[in-house]
Chain A
Amino acid sequence: MLSPVENVLFGIIFTLAVVMFLKSSIELVRLVLVGKPDNRLKGQIWKRILSMLEYAFLQKRVVSERYGINHFVIFWGFIVLLFANIEFVLAGLFPGFAYHKIIGATLGRLAYFCFDVVSLAMIASMAVAYFRRLVIKPSHIEYRSPEGFIILSLIVGLMMAFFGLHGAEIAMGKAFAPNAMPFSRYVVAPLLTNVSPSTLVVMTKIFWWLHALIFLFFLNYLPFSKHMHILWAIPNCFCRSYERIPIVPREEFNIGRPSGVSIVDEFSWKDLLDFFSCTECGRCNANCPATTVGKVLNPRLIIHDGKVNLRANGTKIRNGNRTNRLLPLITEETNRAGSISEEALWACTTCGACMANCPVFIEHVPKIIKMRRHLAENLAKFPEELAVFFEAEEQRSNPWGIAPAERDKWAKDANLRRFVEGSNPEYLLYAGCAASFDSRNKKVCLAVVKALTAAGISFGILGNEEKCCGDSLRRLGNEFVFEKFAKANVAQFEKLGVKKIITICPHCYSTFKNDYPQFGFGAEVHHHSEFLPRLVREGKLELKGTNGFGRVLFHDSCYLGRHNDIYEQPRELIVCATGQRALEFDRRLAKSFCCGAGGGRMWMEEHPEQRVNINRVKEALEKKPDVIAVACPYCMTMFTDGAKDLKAQDKVHVLDIAEIVAESIKV
């Protein structure tokens, strides 16, 4: 029904639009390839395809949140309407083309029915989207960005044009299967009954061209807006990390070669793909502890700034210019578009909530650590108080600079076996720095010792030979010193024939389990929160199961839960020890709110109005617990201090689950 002239015109416009689109997209691909190699795609192709289907097509993480189902509808609507648009374009290029001429009348009817109904569903979901942004107004400002409204409006425009076109065709009597298209037939067409045929013809033309132009405009708007996530999100799911928590790669230390990332092309191509895949949904922000308490750190903004930076500098970098007038990646200022502020980088606790909630598997934390490496190692530019921490670690191999000879003071009355060369007990109990030096945490360690002894486990300690695991060093970007520790520890474990380790601290646990394999470490690692429940299950440890603790509220530590999937075991342990289930936070399990000490933040200062731990303790006090049960020395410190600051130290006790167990052992 288009005139030949219109066909040719459309042909020209369409070709131009497609060429422009391809050009823009290829440019984006080339920008991504500016990044460093990342060899994660070796093998696992089927696993990746399945994952892609689960997360990108079934939208698993998207629908787990409110209004996620709306996006599910929009996503599948797009896929279905893709076929509608293919027919549309082909009809524009080849006069008279229509599906029913290819696939037959019945299938044709089915197709048109789908297109009609889905378009209606799309309008409905657009209405929901508008409603959410304008009326419900979620607290995250991302939802009301101009780009968002533009895109919604374009989609609505497309749908209106679709219905206008088909309604007019039906009214003219020129539609193939009017009864197959319910909305067009029964709602739109009746509106046009009193319109003259000539006007209807004009209307069809107008709606057709409107649809065509919006469609082609949208196509080319894609690569420049956040909507390009529809190109990148699916491959990003394919390329996701399968580690429980994405681990930052080792640094290659060479003379003359700076470490970390200070120019955008020092990121890997996967990092750059992440920048483009961001849908700017803001779920990372919503769950980030730093953002929640009002700090400058905004994970979504970090990804957005990375994207802007790559776009601003990409061409120059590809032409070999890596130094002259580039938009800096890292800056001291806090709101420069396309540059990430240092303050934001240091505010991260590496809790992983951003990554756990991201629907497209963007890896925020490794990028932050890579940029911290640049600041800490190339520039020696970090918050002043870290100098104390770094020096203490380097000289005394513990964060507080206490003489290493004092490290086994906690064990002086416990009469424990020491690991020496030769024959050794089955397990190494790795106390860690907190349990060795912090008087509160020494008690936790002794509680674990009591439980292990009661269960008849063969274990020993390193005593004074124990060194820090180096966790905070790696998270703060001081990779050089971390490597020194990792290599020394791995060598020590090998020399002593250590095959199984039990740790008191989840950070030691996570570092040994997830980071040390990069250095050739292969021993079995346990944390007491999952080892003690196992002992109970195996009957080696008997607990009374009577509650002398009152209301026990359990806090999921980031490095146990999100980082290592340990959720059920500590809860099981509490049930065995006290006979009843622990109380739960609202923000729990994978959505647990960080205590604020991870990522090296334990050693840094915080503004009194922006204390992560206060936020969490306030949430805890709302549940009116008698005991807050934790399984981590950092959490222990943060909760205890938080309770003191909120003057609640008499109302609530902070205990490690090991201490609860120790008191519940059946004698």
Chain B
Amino acid sequence: MSDSADKPKKKPKRPLGKVRLIPAACIACGARCQAECPVDAIEMNDKGEPIIDLEKCIGCRKCIKVCPAAALEHFYTPEELVILEELKKTAEKAKEELPKEEVAEPERRADESYKGVWVFVEQLDGCAASVSWELLGVGKTLANDLNVELAAFILGHEIAHLIKEAFAYGAQKVYIIDDPLLKEYRTETYLRGTVDLVNKYKPEVVLMGATGLGRDLAGAVATVLNAGLTADCTGLAIDKEKRLLEQTRPAFGGNIMATILTQWHRPQMATVRPHVMPKPTPIADAAGEVIREKLNLTESEVKARVLEIVREEAADHIDIAGAEVLVSGGRGMLGPENFKILDELARILGGTVSSSRAAVDAGWMPYERQVGQTGKTVRPKIYIACGISGAIQHLVGMQDSQLIIAINRDKDAPILEVADYGIVGDVFQVVPALIQELKQMVEDRNKCSA
């Protein structure tokens, strides 16, 4: 049968490109790119460098994102470049060929009267939550990209002292509602305050910390305003062309990173977890405009009343769930006196000591330090597991840590399967060695900066 001439030409798929190694840039981190690749297109050579099979590569760029040395780059193969050219030509041709009326068809647009980036300053008893300042940091970048103002909005009672802090962390304007009804957090009152402010001043982006309070408020506000909200973002950026907030967060159990756009509704809302964005350096004498507003609500209109506040008193006032660095000990520590070396390591790293259930059961550590299924769930930046086998009940409590380092005598210990770095060795040799090395690094650094 004759082929092609009668068949309509099939539109070629837009090529995604491929990835290649930048020569000499690989630091042989341990095949993170290979682990990340969803189509097994990467093999490692003897030097620990990746060899990418271009046939298999689908151009998803996951390896580029995970490479700690930025040693991989994206490119289009010559064949793909040809296809891209063709597509460009077809697109331009199609655009030209459109009758004028069709081109002028109105597109759906977002309300462009909304301008400005706002950050919610969360406070408890007059103390601001650190995440608010972190958000002002990233907010500044977003505001600059959009060429608009960065503002902070504060709700509470007797919280005027926070205005100065907001300016110090980068806000150019501060909106404040100071009202006795806002003394303790209640959804209705804070919701009303936020919604009134947003409706009056129309920011295009509103950011909140993904704390318990933030999650409660953000969802309510987004619902009332009929706005889009992405929770727990790990990345925020601006698509300058379309003036859209690119809200990036892990999805499908952490298997992909999804970038979400709320195209047609304003404001675009996002919440970010604490300790994800860096906190900017405060500038002491910063100042700006303060706009005071009233809360349009009376006590009788509010259905909820705060009857009692019960504060949790931790036995030794340590909350491992908030720590950025955790040094954790398990059955392998063999005894309570051996936790001293973990204390030392934690001290140097500015972290806290936690433990597995085995150590708590044995009476070596109090229950508040237990990490695991029946203990606390932690997400520190660094989790160092010493003498912990990594049974699944423990993993539940720490598997979302950003970096996991495991030290265990047993090379088959399950913890080594989830650790980013695993050291097969005796804790009582490795940890003191680590402490020694770290102390030296601190000394050297002090010497240099002196």
Residues of A within 8 A of B (CB): 385, 388-389, 392, 396, 400-405, 437-440, 603-605, 608, 637, 644-645
Contact = CB atoms under 8 A, between A and B. Distances in A.
A402 B399 contact: yes
B392 A388 contact: no
Contact of B414 (A396, A402, A439): A439
B157 interface: no
A402 B374 CA distance: 16
Given A402-B399, A403-B255, A608-B361, A389 B373 contact: yes
Interface in B24-74: none
Nearest to B413: A439
Interface string B377-396: 10000000000000111011
B396 A400 contact: yes
Contacts of B361: 608, 645
Contacts of B392: 400, 437-439
B417 A439 contact: yes
B374 A605 contact: yes
Contacts of B254: 403
B360 to A, nearest CB: 9
Contact of A388 (B252, B253, B373, B417): B373
Given A603-B373, A605-B374, A400 B395 contact: yes
A604 B373 CA distance: 8
A404 B253 contact: yes
A396 B253 contact: yes
Nearest first, the 5 closest Cβ-Cβ pairs linking A and B are: A403-B253, A605-B374, A385-B374, A439-B414, A438-B392
A389 B392 CA distance: 13
Given A392-B396, A405-B255, A645-B361, A400 B417 contact: no
B192 interface: no
B331 interface: yes
A347 to B, nearest CB: 14
Contacts of B374: 385, 603-605
B321 to A, nearest CB: 12
Contact of A405 (B252, B373, B391, B393): B252
A558 B399 CA distance: 31
Contacts of B395: 400, 402
Interface in B358-380: 358, 361, 373-375, 377
Interface of B: 252-255, 331, 358, 361, 373-375, 377, 391-393, 395-396, 399, 414, 417
Nearest to B331: A644
Nearest to A387: B377
Nearest to B254: A403
Contacts of B358: 644
Nearest to B256: A405
A440 B399 CA distance: 18
Contacts of A405: 252-253, 255
A400 B252 contact: no
B396 A388 contact: yes
15 contacts: A385-B374, A388-B373, A388-B396, A396-B253, A402-B253, A402-B399, A404-B252, A438-B391, A438-B392, A439-B392, A439-B414, A603-B373, A603-B374, A605-B374, A644-B331
**Listed residue (B254, B373, B391, B414) with the most chain A CB atoms within 10 angstroms of its CB:** B373
A643 to B, nearest CB: 12
A621 to B, nearest CB: 18
A389 B331 CA distance: 24
A400 B373 contact: yes
Contacts of A637: 391
Contacts of A402: 253, 395, 399
B402 to A, nearest CB: 16
A340 to B, nearest CB: 24
A385 B396 CA distance: 12
Nearest to A611: B361
A118 to B, nearest CB: 58
A439 B417 CA distance: 10
Nearest to A385: B374
Nearest to B357: A605
B443 to A, nearest CB: 41
Nearest to A439: B414
Contacts of A603: 373-374
A405 B252 CA distance: 8
B396 A401 contact: yes
Nearest to B360: A608
B253 to A, nearest CB: 3
A515 B253 CA distance: 29
A401 B395 CA distance: 10
B251 to A, nearest CB: 11
A372 to B, nearest CB: 18
Contacts of B252: 403-405
**Listed residue (B255, B375, B396, B414) with the most chain A CB atoms within 10 angstroms of its CB:** B396
B371 to A, nearest CB: 12
A388 B399 CA distance: 13
B253 A385 contact: no
A388 B331 contact: no
A230 to B, nearest CB: 46
A389 B374 CA distance: 9
Contacts of A403: 252-255
A404 B252 CA distance: 8
Nearest to A386: B374
A476 to B, nearest CB: 14
A464 to B, nearest CB: 10
A46 B20 CA distance: 79
Contacts of B393: 400
A539 B361 CA distance: 48
Contacts of B417: 439
B133 to A, nearest CB: 29
Contacts of A437: 392
A95 B252 CA distance: 89
A468 B129 CA distance: 38
B377 A388 contact: yes
Contacts of B373: 385, 388-389, 400, 603
A463 to B, nearest CB: 15
A302 to B, nearest CB: 25
Given A388-B377, A437-B392, A637-B391, 16 more contacts: A385-B375, A388-B396, A389-B373, A396-B253, A400-B392, A400-B393, A402-B253, A403-B254, A405-B253, A405-B255, A438-B392, A439-B414, A439-B417, A603-B374, A608-B361, A644-B331
A439 B389 CA distance: 11
A444 to B, nearest CB: 14
A438 B374 CA distance: 16
A645 B331 CA distance: 10
Contacts of A400: 373, 392-393, 395-396
B55 to A, nearest CB: 22
A406 to B, nearest CB: 8
Nearest to A605: B374
Nearest to A405: B255
Contacts of B414: 439
A603 B254 CA distance: 23
A385 B370 CA distance: 12
A390 to B, nearest CB: 12
**Listed residue (A396, A401, A604, A637) with the most chain B CB atoms within 10 angstroms of its CB:** A401
A76 to B, nearest CB: 52
A405 B255 CA distance: 8
Contacts of A438: 391-392
B310 to A, nearest CB: 15
A603 B357 CA distance: 13
Nearest to B400: A401
Contacts of A608: 361
B62 to A, nearest CB: 13
A603 B373 CA distance: 7
**Listed residue (B255, B374, B375, B417) with the most chain A CB atoms within 10 angstroms of its CB:** B374
A388 B374 CA distance: 8
A598 B346 CA distance: 38
A603 B375 CA distance: 10
A604 B331 CA distance: 20
